[in-house]
Amino acid sequence: MLRKMTVACALLLLLAAQLANFSPALFSGCIVYESEYQTLAGETLFYAVKPKSWFYIQGNNFKLYDRNKQLSELYIGEANALYTFAKGQAKQVADTVRRPAPAALTCLPATATILGYRCHLLRLTEGRVSTLVFYAPELRVSVAAFRRCPNPGWYALLQATDGALPLRTITIDTEHDVSATREAVAVTPMLLPAADFTTTAPAR
């Protein structure tokens, strides 16, 4: 009887350890965003039609395509290599970027549902720039996977949201009289091979 109880306790302890280490599946796929730029008085800037951008992420890699479906940013985690693109030419960003002081973070009680995903809200404030971030805990990536990324803003954002991806951001810059809103219009989970994260890989 004692042996049975010992075995049962061992199984319970093993199950508890597994549950403690359990984490929901990390998101892999594409998020399509639309952006809008306005003066603080509400006058539309830059584009009459909201431009789209395509953001792909898998593991410790990500890439971003602009409104013309041209690659504009690429991060290859294994090599810790961040690239930006101008006229189709890749330029690697040196991993010597000085990390800025973190923005002041305020968690707000409001929530929103975007594309069926329940989003929480936080505000990041840095000087005269304030950004509202609506992030979806269901769409989560590994924060640690991007800790070395030369784009400090990206890693800081993931730290603030605990790895949850934003589906809407509203940035207000009172110094330059401009606001920028970026909102997801499509979320497509998909597996992406490492071959998709190269300087020559086309958009899907």
| Residues 144-185: tens digit of each pLDDT | 999 999 988 899 999 999 999 999 999 999 999 999 999 999
> Any residues with CB less than 8 A from the CB of 27 and at least 6 apart, and which?
57, 138, 139, 140, 141, 165, 189
Distance CA 70, CA 56 (A): 13
Task: Report the pLDDT averaged over residues 37-48.
Answer: 87
User: Is residue 42 pLDDT above 90, yes or no?
Assistant: no
Distance CA 28, CA 37 (A): 28
Predicted confidence at residue 97, as pLDDT, reads 60
| Residues 3-20: tens digit of each pLDDT | 443 444 443 433 333 333
| Residues 116-143: tens digit of each pLDDT | 999 999 999 999 999 999 999 999 999 9
Buried b (16+ CB within 10 A) or exposed e, 170-186: bbbeeeeebbbbbbbee
Average pLDDT, the chain: 87
Predicted confidence at residue 170, as pLDDT, reads 97
Distance CA 160, CA 183 (A): 18
Helix, strand, coil fractions of the chain, as percent rounded to 5 = 20, 45, 35
Biggest CA–CA distance in the chain, Å, is 78
Predicted confidence at residue 110, as pLDDT, reads 95
Predicted confidence at residue 143, as pLDDT, reads 96
Domains of the chain: 9-196 (2.50.20)
Burial label, 133 (beta-carbon count in 10 A; 0-12, 13-18, 19+) = buried
Residue 181 has φ and ψ, to the nearest 5°, of: -115, 130
